[in-house]
Structures are given as structure tokens and as C-alpha cells.
Amino acid sequence: MYLDLVKIFLPTAVAFFLGIFLTPIATHFFYKYKMWKKYSRNENVTATDFSKIHNETEELKTPRVGGILIWISVLLTTFIFSIGMEKLNFLSRNQTLIPLFTLIVGSIIGLFDDLVQIYGTGKIAQDDKSWRLWKIFLIMIFSFSIGIWFYFKLGMTGIHIPFGGELFLGILIIPFFIIVALATFSGGVIDGIDGLSGGVLASIFGAYSAIAYANNQVDLAAFSGVLTGATLAFLWFNVPPARFYMGETGIMGLTITIVTLAFLTDSVLILPIIAIPLVITSGSVILQTISKKFRGGKRIFRLAPIHHHFEAIGWPAYKVTMRFWILSVIFSIIGIILAIISR
């Protein structure tokens, strides 16, 4: 038991300090090559409330690829502990190989999207509707390949229903994974205020580390801990004023990895509780879109996602961020408890 705890907490700490160490190097690179968006979101948003709360100058001078630090820190930490540290090595085929693959591939796809918006031209660089549809298609293809791995390689055919046994899905586990991945990724719009996404995602990964440990999936608990540590290192520099934004290279890789962890820990139906800030954020955008379409342009919220609504009604950005952090921690704890007692 003692060794298991060391196996979890030591890599977590290493990932955190490695991220802190790498940040000055990465920051120099980000600013040297001006890795920020060319086009402001104000060009695509008509609501006057948004222009009041949004600092266009800050957005156009702040790098948007900070998520690189997270997945590079995770990759390096995994490599360090996989060589010469047999007892602390947490890289295993049945637990951590697929989430590591998910993180790296998803992050690289996201990085491509970031580079398009940084160095591209025309509508694609402004993240227009056609480009967003292409991103959804890429996520579907990527999620499809992961779903196939779960079904054919890991033999996963069902999901655990809390307090109610197991729901057999068979091969339908593949499209179900795609749906959950898309839904979780849609919550990535939470990356809209300095420090918001980092704190929320760190809480989620911390929760899955605890759930994996309770399931006796020590390697997976260690990997989730490493994600937590790396995300906290990013958060250290993302609090106001942000040195850089997470960007799609962070959001895409991390959100799809969350889904992978939820399936591997057999707690996918508890995911909406643990990730309640992502659910609320994504839901607010969906409700706003539906309302504007079917209610003659009327809005439910002053702005969507909902964190911008709170800014629009007068909440300071730091208050929105901290209250989301509190919600994330509380619901992560609730999710951990439910995952443990519902077996």
C-alpha cells in the first residue's frame, strides 16, 4: 500500500515541477513566434455584452498553445518513470497505454487546429462553422478508433450503472464512446476566463485518480495524478493575468482523455457529476442556441457560455473562476463517493 501511494504521488509531484521548469523555455518560444490568434472573437460575436467584458488586445497578444506544457510534462514524466524505475513504472498496456495514446494524439490534433488559427488565413483562421464541423468529424474518427480498441482489445461490452448492475451494450459501446467524447469535448468552451479551465480539469483528473486507486488500478491512478500535476503547473501560469491560454491542444487532448479514464474506471455514468462545470458550460451554449432559433432570437442568458453570462451581469472574472473551482471540487468529491459506494 505504501509503495502504491508513492507510485501515485511522486510522479504527480514530478509532473508539476517539470511543468514549472519547462514554462520559461516554452514561454520564450511562444512569444518569439507570436503564437496567438490573428482574429478576435469580437469579429464573430454580435452581442454588445461580450465586447464589454472581453479584452481584445489581451487575446491577440497572449499565446494560445499553453496546453503543450501539459501533455509534454505528462509524456516526459511517463518516460522518466518507465526507464530505470521498475517499481514506480506506471506505464502498462491494460491501464495507461490507451489514455496516454489518447492524450498525445488528441493534443496533436488540437495543436494543428491552434496553428491553423495562428498562422492560417481566411475563414478557417477565424474558426468558422465549416472548420468546426471538420473538427467534429476528426474527433468522431479518433473516438471511433478508441472505441474499437475498447471493444476488440479490452473486451469492453457494457457500462456500470450506479447501484444497478451493468448495462450490456455489445458493439454499441463504440458509438456510445463517440457520443460521450463529443459531449465532453463540447464542454471545452469553458476555456474562456484566465484560470478557469485549468482548475476545473485538475479537479476532474484528481477525482479519477482517487476512483482508479479505489478500483485497485494503481497505474491508472498514477497516470491520472500525473495529469493533475501537469495541469496544476499550467494553472500556476494561467491565473490572471494569463501568461498563455490552454488552446485546443490542451482542451481536445484532455477532454477526450477524461472520457477514456471514465470508461477504464467503469464510471462513465458518474462522469456528468464529476465534470459538472463542463456539463453546465456546454448545456448553456446548447440552450442559448435553441432559444435563439425557436424564440425569435431571444436569449436565455446575457451571454453563453454561462461563465460569460455571470461576467455580463457584473461578477468579476476572478469570482466566476473561483466559484467554478469550488463547484468542481465539491462535485468531484461527490463523484468519488458515488463511484466507490455504488459498486
Domain boundaries, the chain: 2-268
Measured distance CA(308)–CA(13) in Å, rounded? 33
Average pLDDT of the chain to the nearest whole number: 90
What pLDDT, in 10s, does the model give residues 80-94?
A: 999 877 789 999 988
- Confidence (pLDDT) at 274: 97
CA atoms within 13 A on the CB side of 322: 6
Chain centroid, CA 152 distance in Å: 26
Place of cell 476532474: 204
- Confidence (pLDDT) at 49: 62
Gyration radius from the chain CA atoms: 20
Nearest Cα to Cα of residue 248 among 11, 37, 24 = 37
Per-residue pLDDT for 214 more than 80?
yes
- Confidence (pLDDT) at 287: 94
- Confidence (pLDDT) at 47: 55
- By the 8 A CB rule, do 242 and 195 touch? yes
Secondary structure letter of residue 62 according to DSSP: S
Average pLDDT of the segment spanning 182-193: 90
CA 182, 152, 165, 213 torsion-angle sign: negative
Average pLDDT of the segment spanning 5-19: 96
Place of cell 495507461: 96
Query: Which residue would you say has higher pLDDT here, 55 or 165?
Result: 165
Q: Angle, nearest 10°, between helix axes 196-214 and 2-32?
A: 160
Per-residue pLDDT for 188 more than 90?
no
Note the pTM of the prediction, 2 decimals: 0.94
* Cross-strand bridge partners of residue 160: 166
Give Cβ neighbours of residue 221 (< 8 Å, ≥ 6 apart).
Answer: 8, 209, 210, 212, 213
Average pLDDT of the segment spanning 247-266: 96
- By the 8 A CB rule, do 60 and 37 touch? yes
What pLDDT, in 10s, does the model give residues 23-37?
A: 999 999 999 988 988
Measured distance CA(299)–CA(283) in Å, rounded? 14
**Rounded to 5 degrees, what angle do the CA atoms 83, 19, 81 make?**
15
Per-residue pLDDT for 102 more than 90?
yes
What pLDDT, in 10s, does the model give residues 165-179?
A: 899 999 999 999 999
Distances (CA, A) of 300 to 292, 303, 309: 8, 8, 10
Measured distance CA(137)–CA(7) in Å, rounded? 37
**Helix or strand (DSSP H, E) at 162:** none
Average pLDDT of the segment spanning 7-19: 96
- Confidence (pLDDT) at 204: 97
